[in-house]
Structure 1
Amino acid sequence: MSIRPAAPRRRLVARIGLDRVLATAVLLLLVLLRLWDPPPVETLRLRTFDAFQILRPRPATLRPVTIVDIDEASIRALGQWPWSRTRVADLVSRLTEAGAAAIAFDAVFPEPDRLSPALVAETVPGLDAQSRALLAKLPSNDRILADAVAASRVILGQTALVQPSDPPAGLPETGFALLGPDPSAHIARFPGLLRNVPELEQSAAGRGLFTIVPERDGIVRRVPLVLIAEGRMVPALALEVLRVLTGSGAVMLRSDEAGVGAAVLPGFEVPTDATGSVWLHFNHHDPARFVSARSVLDGSFDPARVAQKIVLIGTSAIGLLDNKTTPVDRTIPGVEVHAQVLESVLTRATLSYPSYAAIVEVLLAVAVSVGIIAFAPVLGAAWLLLLGAVVAVFIAAISWFRFSELGILLDPTFPLGASLGVYAVLVFTNYTREQMGRQRIRSAFSQYLSPALVDELAASPEKLRLGGEERRLTIMFSDVRGFTAISEFYRADPSGLTALMNRFLTPLTDAIIGRRGTIDKYMGDAIMAFWNAPLDDPDQEANACAAALEMIARMNALNAARRTEAEAGGFPVLPLEVGIGINTGRCVVGNMGSAQRFDYSVLGDTVNVASRLEGQSKTYSVQIVLGAATAAAIAGRFAVLEIDRIRVKGKSLPETISVLAGDAALAASPAFRELAAAHAALLAAYRGRDWAAARAHLESCRERGAGLGLDRLYDLYARRVDAFEREPPPEDWAGIHVAESK
């Protein structure tokens, strides 16, 4: 059975292993993917951080911020927003009187109040000149609000615009100082800025952007503390509130080559990411933060709710479309996001995702994956899976600890995902290699083994121990007698000879394979087969003998079919007769050959004897000759008759040979038992030099063995008896016949 080895692989791949090479390549691709950080990778990381916050939202230990809410009740009672600036001024004044530490607007007043007296005088038709003049002399509503703003500590809101705008001259601006390289390239940039009317801007203690930039999925996780609008740095509303409260004239940004690292104010250092945004540890939406604007204006609120607190004025009214989604809430008012920024900063409960985090995640992924690649062949799948589970729990625990105790974000999904990907590649590669190995086994053995044996061998390839193994085998040789004459008959029809060979080799092969035999090779019209390799066959001798009997039966059926065809076609036909030799003994089985081509075959004296036994089937004119070990193994289960002791050509030791006359049914029949007794008596008389008794037993054997194809065997013994009567054998003759032919 011939097998061609796979083409040589590169030495390095062969030494390391294809599975490890592929796993390493996948690891490198995953590392590059993480460094590139496409949206799906980023989203997975952010969703993991969301899960942390859902499991442990920020506890609300302090309430430094109160939200004055322009809610639905306030709008129903006081009219739609925007309100008159005088009402807003009244709101500011009442909050100031209640002791608010600072007041910040999550709103912008970009246009003059249309309800100012001068504007009303111009728009009311039929107004007399005196009334018009009196109204024109009254202060504008914007002026009234500006005076209220100036009398308090108010931070006005601004918003970034995607449309370009030109900064007006003379308006106050918040300055920035840099501690490190210019980080402008990393900060979110907007071409325009929407401001309040100039007199409000000039009266305010500060101005900050309430612009929030959600992530790609619309969830607010980070809030910028600094943005670039109209080409300059502008503080966010929360940062400006802190600047005003600390009395600082400017904001300092600590930066490095990666971008912004922190916003620094007297007594505060707020860690940020490279873009200058702060990662928020969100608390759930809490109505306790809110005071209705209506209750402030009508005086029914509790002043203690705003005393010495930062007051944010914003809206939760659905119609004003200022709602946001956070990791812990599907929707909260946008002003509450700013409140949570201030709470987090003031209670030092912000999160941070440092610039080195990505490198740590990559190194962790590489370390775990390299460990998997290195130990996979050593530990095996089960132990590797268990170790992987322990490592996964460890990584998740480290990530959770850093989040919950240190407020530092570390993504566990990339190390876990990368190591899982590497593990999957190893498993898939090994599975594919195993399947390919099984397929190679199927391809190599499918023509030589039964489908059931091929399936068993493919399912348990470890049973195929290649490279030379000594074991007990049963060897069969079969040959078509008189094939030279048959070939000559087809000398003018080579294709007909080929078709005939296929026609008789196929049923013979099927008989062998059907009895768990392995086809070793075809040698013209001859077949060599063996049992008990590559798979164990505890009943190898019986299976080989059953196969031999079936081969004879199939050849008889084929001859009958050929005779029918010949009679119908009016052409002659030569019958096909098969001689079979079977022997059992120790052999070496495995890959035999060269590095370029090898055979899965058998070697040993047992093989040579089996070949000689097949040749002796011609000498003794029987179809199936068995060696002594084979005959002993099947004694009582098959119809077996010892026929001689011979010394085959090339052998010094004699071999007892037997003929396989039939199956178990024949062996159990009374007629065969009588034949066996007569046959044993024949051999005893023959070996005892009692030629007269031998001749008598020959006649008994002929009578009882009629129809079993033993006539020519007994003719052979009759000739020997006649010859020994004329010329007796030497005194040391032990009944051993020396075979002169193979």
Structure 2
Amino acid sequence: MKLFLRIVRRFDWARALATGLLALLLLVRVVDHELIQTFRYNAFDFYQQVKPRSPEPFPVTIIDVDDQSLEELGQWPWPRTTLADLVDKATAAGAVALAFDVIFADPDRLSPENIALDNKGLPEEIKKALRAMPSNDSILADAIGRSRVIVGETSIRRSVASGQDDVQGPKVEYAFLGPNPEPFMMKFPDLVQNMPTLDAKAAGRGIFTVRPDSDGVYRRVPLVMLVDGQVRMGLSVELLRIATGGGAFAIKSNDAGVDGVIVARQLISTDSDGTVWPYFAHSSRDRFVSASDLVLDRLPPNRLRGHLVFVGTSAIGLEDFRATPLGTPMPGVEIHAQVLENILGKTMLVRPNYSIAVELLTIVLLGLVIIVLVPKMGAAFVLMLTGTLISGYVLFSYVAFQNERILLDPTYPAFSAIILAIFMSTMNYLREERERQRIRSAFGQYVSPDLVTQLSDNPERLILGGERRPLSILFSDVRGFTTISESFRDDPAGLTQLMNRFLTVLSDGILSFGGTIDKFMGDAVMAFWNAPLDEPDHARLSCRAALKMLSDVNELNEFRKVNRRNPDKKFHQIDVGIGINTGDCIVGNMGSDTRFDYTALGDAVNLASRLEGQSKTYGVGIILGPETANHVKDDFAVLELDLIRVKGKTEPAQVFGLFGDETLRAAPEFQRLETLNNEMLDAYRGQRWSDAQGHLKAMQEVLGGLPFDLQTYIEMYSDRVQGFKENPPGQSWDGVFVAASK
């Protein structure tokens, strides 16, 4: 359960949107728009162009009505007596069976009776003799009957040339092995057949119609189809059926449609619609023999012996060329010949029924990897990951084609991966922008605007979780806050307003010198410098901030005094004590998994807090620790105050008072005061009590020309000196004052 909740927490809105996009991409693939098909088909074409099928000496030949034949035997269509001669000579040459990739739907206009009919000026005796002669169609029909010939049929228009509709030849026995596949099969509405005379003598009938894909390329050929509601076979597979005895065929099917066609005791796998993907070899003249060479007895011996023969056209004027995946057109009859070669060589490309499932699963797997990993990685890794995943799948697709002749779409899964990678990268960018905004929001209340800008532009500089670094830590507190609160007993809203204004004044002083506000604790404030960004001059900046804080609080007091509602009511001035210390600390996000603060911890922090508490004891607004004083004493008006052991610590520490900036430091009066103070402390620690009293008196006289008050400090030391003078501490005394309170 904990693991599940952790996963749910990490599954952020960007991944949720990406999952929705993945679902949309899957839906688009299922719909399979024409544009998606085009990209997929072009990829399959590219595979064949890279590695076309190697031509092998299959017993498949095309008797070609080529340009040479038209030149030698006359223009097309030829008299059917010539075609009868072609059939007889091909049969005599050993052809096992012939399939015509042409159709003879109309009577031969060159038959003797038609010549007599068309030439009315002929003598009656000649007309009578012509009518007595057998028709060219019957001569061709007799030749067809003496051989095993498959006549071609097509589905272009409904034939009415013979005066009959829905002409049908003998039905071929077939069976369905599985569910009825007819709803999945390719459908042609009409059938154009041959003349009944020819059709009756034919051993078989095959459909030579092939539909191109949407881009005009002929990639698939139907082996079985529904024509005018009846199951029919394609020309190539019908030629194979007749050549192997002319038995029944079967269609194997499953719930997804056609699985294959069983002909000549072999299963030819197909797509679910009964089509096959021929593995094309380049067009080769080795498949062809010129029809004129056969008719004029120029064919080499045994050229057709044992061959399955197609009769078709390649003459330029007959326009029977088709675009193929190899990028070069070839005659339509050669496409049928290549289908038969693929069947005999068992080299047909396979687009199995499960291929769509594999592609969808690939899209899901690639998508989930990208969705899970990309939000955690940088741009370079995203590019590398996306490139690796896409390259790996494309390579897998090509290897499946090369080794197993399986067609798996490399384009849409790759496209989906790219789209998801772009989307997740965009989400990464938006997340980083959101992170910058979060940093601005989180730190905008605690650090200066310039620092917020630096952090948002360079978030890597923000090290979370805690790091050790030197800090200058400032604590401030209000003296006599309880008394001030009591004066607002009847006006709590006024107290809130006053505290907000007061804390704003303190915050402005800290932020204006690049400090980070750690926390507000009632009327107290904690801040530090040199985190989260490096600031080498952090000690000086903390001192400048403290001086500004005191100056701004004084201005606030003056404003309150002038603008108070009841002048007769006693005015309570806000007095602030500040302690600053410099030292190594641990700084970072501290707290629990659900609630944490960016804060600093360490001994230097504790000492800074104790120093703030001593500001009242010494009557000095700003108390500095030894490290802070060492950094700033040459530039600021700093006086050593004492050597004390604060509560909770065993080691004594030198403490200093901060009274002003460089201007005051350079004033002669202050330099005189500094000298007297040092001499007083030296006499004090040397137990020369009379000398110490003399220096204190001299200090009192110098103070009149300085903008601050040391009266409490001087009185405190006067009392100490007098007490020690009356009761000497002894030779073991180390000059350390032990602070009894925080």
Does the alignment reach a TM-score above 0.5?
yes
Q: Relative to structure 1, is the Cα distance of residues 83 and 679 closer, same or farther in structure 2, using a 3 angstrom cutoff?
A: farther
What's the offset of the Cα at 1:694? 3.9
Superposition RMSD on alpha carbons, in Å?
5.2
Per mean C-alpha deviation after superposition, the further-off stretch among 533-542 and 149-158 is 533-542
Corresponding residue number in structure 1 for 2:714:
717
Q: Relative to structure 1, is the Cα distance of residues 315 and 671 closer, same or farther in structure 2, using a 3 angstrom cutoff?
A: farther
Tell me whether 1:11 sits opposite 2:5 in the alignment: yes
Superposed counterparts of 1:159-308, under 5 Å: 159-161=154-156, 168=166, 171-266=169-264, 268-293=266-291, 306=304, 308=306
Q: Relative to structure 1, is the Cα distance of residues 284 and 662 closer, same or farther in structure 2, using a 3 angstrom cutoff?
A: farther
For residue 218 of structure 2, what is the amino acid of its counterpart? V
1:148 pairs with one of 143, 146, 163 = 143
**CA–CA distance in 1 between the matches of 2:590 and 2:396?**
57
For residue 408 of structure 1, what is the amino acid of its counterpart? I
Q: Relative to structure 1, is the Cα distance of residues 407 and 599 closer, same or farther in structure 2, using a 3 angstrom cutoff?
A: closer
Q: Relative to structure 1, is the Cα distance of residues 367 and 170 closer, same or farther in structure 2, using a 3 angstrom cutoff?
A: closer
Q: Relative to structure 1, is the Cα distance of residues 575 and 86 closer, same or farther in structure 2, using a 3 angstrom cutoff?
A: farther
1:103 pairs with one of 98, 104, 120 = 98
Q: Which runs of 5+ in 2 are unaligned?
A: 564-571
Q: Relative to structure 1, is the Cα distance of residues 297 and 526 closer, same or farther in structure 2, using a 3 angstrom cutoff?
A: same
**CA–CA distance in 2 between the matches of 1:378 and 1:170?**
68
What's the offset of the Cα at 1:196? 1.0
Q: Relative to structure 1, is the Cα distance of residues 708 and 209 closer, same or farther in structure 2, using a 3 angstrom cutoff?
A: farther
1:64 pairs with one of 50, 55, 59 = 59
Superposed counterparts of 1:689-708, under 5 Å: 690=688, 693-694=691-692, 697=695
Q: Secondary structure at the match of 1:346?
A: helix
Identity percentage of aligned residues: 46
> Does structure 2 retain, via aligned residues, the 8 Å contact 1:22–1:425?
no
> Does structure 2 retain, via aligned residues, the 8 Å contact 1:698–1:714?
no
Tell me whether 1:349 sits opposite 2:347 in the alignment: yes
Corresponding residue number in structure 2 for 1:571:
none
Corresponding residue number in structure 2 for 1:454:
452
What's the offset of the Cα at 1:475? 2.2
**CA–CA distance in 2 between the matches of 1:584 and 1:498?**
32
2:441 pairs with one of 434, 443, 448 = 443
Corresponding residue number in structure 2 for 1:465:
464
**CA–CA distance in 2 between the matches of 1:164 and 1:91?**
26
> Does structure 1 retain, via aligned residues, the 8 Å contact 2:67–2:315?
yes
Q: Secondary structure at the match of 2:8?
A: helix
Q: Secondary structure at the match of 2:155?
A: strand
Q: Relative to structure 1, is the Cα distance of residues 398 and 521 closer, same or farther in structure 2, using a 3 angstrom cutoff?
A: closer
What's the offset of the Cα at 1:541? 2.8
**CA–CA distance in 2 between the matches of 1:9 and 1:25?**
23
Q: Relative to structure 1, is the Cα distance of residues 73 and 549 closer, same or farther in structure 2, using a 3 angstrom cutoff?
A: farther
Superposed counterparts of 1:351-366, under 5 Å: 351-362=349-360
What's the offset of the Cα at 1:182? 3.0
Corresponding residue number in structure 2 for 1:47:
42
Q: Secondary structure at the match of 1:193?
A: coil
Per mean C-alpha deviation after superposition, the further-off stretch among 242-251 and 726-735 is 726-735
Residues 569-588 of structure 1 show CA distances to partners (whole Å, capped at 9, x for unaligned) of xxxxx999975431345767
Corresponding residue number in structure 1 for 2:728:
731
**CA–CA distance in 2 between the matches of 1:63 and 1:706?**
121
What's the offset of the Cα at 1:72? 5.1
Q: Relative to structure 1, is the Cα distance of residues 720 and 668 closer, same or farther in structure 2, using a 3 angstrom cutoff?
A: closer
Corresponding residue number in structure 2 for 1:474:
472
Q: Relative to structure 1, is the Cα distance of residues 439 and 410 closer, same or farther in structure 2, using a 3 angstrom cutoff?
A: same
Residues 322-373 of structure 1 show CA distances to partners (whole Å, capped at 9, x for unaligned) of 3322221242222221121122222222222232344455556666777778
Residues 423-442 of structure 1 show CA distances to partners (whole Å, capped at 9, x for unaligned) of 77776666655554443223
Corresponding residue number in structure 1 for 2:567:
none
Tell me whether 1:116 sits opposite 2:111 in the alignment: yes
For residue 54 of structure 1, what is the amino acid of its counterpart? Q
**CA–CA distance in 1 between the matches of 2:439 and 2:517?**
14
Q: Relative to structure 1, is the Cα distance of residues 590 and 681 closer, same or farther in structure 2, using a 3 angstrom cutoff?
A: same
> Does structure 1 retain, via aligned residues, the 8 Å contact 2:684–2:721?
no
**CA–CA distance in 2 between the matches of 1:298 and 1:91?**
9
Residues 598-650 of structure 1 show CA distances to partners (whole Å, capped at 9, x for unaligned) of 65445677656545645655665655321234324545565532123567799
> Does structure 2 retain, via aligned residues, the 8 Å contact 1:316–1:323?
yes
**CA–CA distance in 2 between the matches of 1:299 and 1:388?**
64
Superposed counterparts of 1:457-606, under 5 Å: 457-458=455-456, 459-460=458-459, 463-466=462-465, 473-478=471-476, 509=507, 512-513=510-511, 515-521=513-519, 527-535=525-533, 540-549=538-547, 580-584=578-582, 599-601=597-599
Corresponding residue number in structure 2 for 1:4:
none
Q: Relative to structure 1, is the Cα distance of residues 186 and 685 closer, same or farther in structure 2, using a 3 angstrom cutoff?
A: same
**CA–CA distance in 2 between the matches of 1:373 and 1:256?**
36
**CA–CA distance in 1 between the matches of 2:7 and 2:127?**
95
Q: Secondary structure at the match of 1:192?
A: coil
Per mean C-alpha deviation after superposition, the further-off stretch among 283-292 and 217-226 is 283-292
Q: Relative to structure 1, is the Cα distance of residues 254 and 636 closer, same or farther in structure 2, using a 3 angstrom cutoff?
A: same
For residue 641 of structure 2, what is the amino acid of its counterpart? I
> Does structure 2 retain, via aligned residues, the 8 Å contact 1:464–1:535?
no
Q: Secondary structure at the match of 2:98?
A: strand
**CA–CA distance in 2 between the matches of 1:624 and 1:543?**
14
What's the offset of the Cα at 1:465? 3.1
**CA–CA distance in 2 between the matches of 1:665 and 1:452?**
27
What's the offset of the Cα at 1:379? 10
Per mean C-alpha deviation after superposition, the further-off stretch among 208-217 and 229-238 is 208-217
Per mean C-alpha deviation after superposition, the further-off stretch among 83-92 and 202-211 is 83-92
Tell me whether 1:138 sits opposite 2:133 in the alignment: yes
What's the offset of the Cα at 1:682? 2.5
What's the offset of the Cα at 1:232? 1.3
Q: Relative to structure 1, is the Cα distance of residues 615 and 257 closer, same or farther in structure 2, using a 3 angstrom cutoff?
A: closer
Q: Secondary structure at the match of 2:236?
A: helix
Q: Secondary structure at the match of 2:261?
A: strand
Per mean C-alpha deviation after superposition, the further-off stretch among 495-504 and 592-601 is 495-504
Residues 467-521 of structure 1 show CA distances to partners (whole Å, capped at 9, x for unaligned) of x888764322356899999999999x99999999989877864553354421234
With structure 2 as the length reference, what TM-score do the two structures score? 0.78
> Does structure 1 retain, via aligned residues, the 8 Å contact 2:250–2:262?
yes
Residues 8-41 of structure 1 show CA distances to partners (whole Å, capped at 9, x for unaligned) of 9993643664477777776666666656655555
What's the offset of the Cα at 1:169? 5.8
Q: Which runs of 5+ in 1 are unaligned?
A: 1-7, 567-573
> Does structure 2 retain, via aligned residues, the 8 Å contact 1:285–1:329?
no
The structure, 1 or 2, with the larger RCO (C-alpha pairs under 8 Å, 6+ apart) is 1
How many matched pairs?
725
What's the offset of the Cα at 1:400? 3.8
Residues 252-294 of structure 1 show CA distances to partners (whole Å, capped at 9, x for unaligned) of 3333333333322336432222222222111122344344545
For residue 314 of structure 2, what is the amino acid of its counterpart? S
What's the offset of the Cα at 1:235? 1.0
Superposed counterparts of 1:364-403, under 5 Å: 396=394, 398-403=396-401
Q: Relative to structure 1, is the Cα distance of residues 418 and 477 closer, same or farther in structure 2, using a 3 angstrom cutoff?
A: same
Q: Relative to structure 1, is the Cα distance of residues 318 and 161 closer, same or farther in structure 2, using a 3 angstrom cutoff?
A: same
Q: Relative to structure 1, is the Cα distance of residues 67 and 507 closer, same or farther in structure 2, using a 3 angstrom cutoff?
A: farther
Residues 680-734 of structure 1 show CA distances to partners (whole Å, capped at 9, x for unaligned) of 1122234556465346545766788887634x22684168538955995643397
Residues 23-60 of structure 1 show CA distances to partners (whole Å, capped at 9, x for unaligned) of 77766666666566555555444333323212210001
Per mean C-alpha deviation after superposition, the further-off stretch among 309-318 and 695-704 is 695-704
Per mean C-alpha deviation after superposition, the further-off stretch among 16-25 and 117-126 is 16-25
Per mean C-alpha deviation after superposition, the further-off stretch among 340-349 and 409-418 is 409-418
For residue 244 of structure 2, what is the amino acid of its counterpart? T
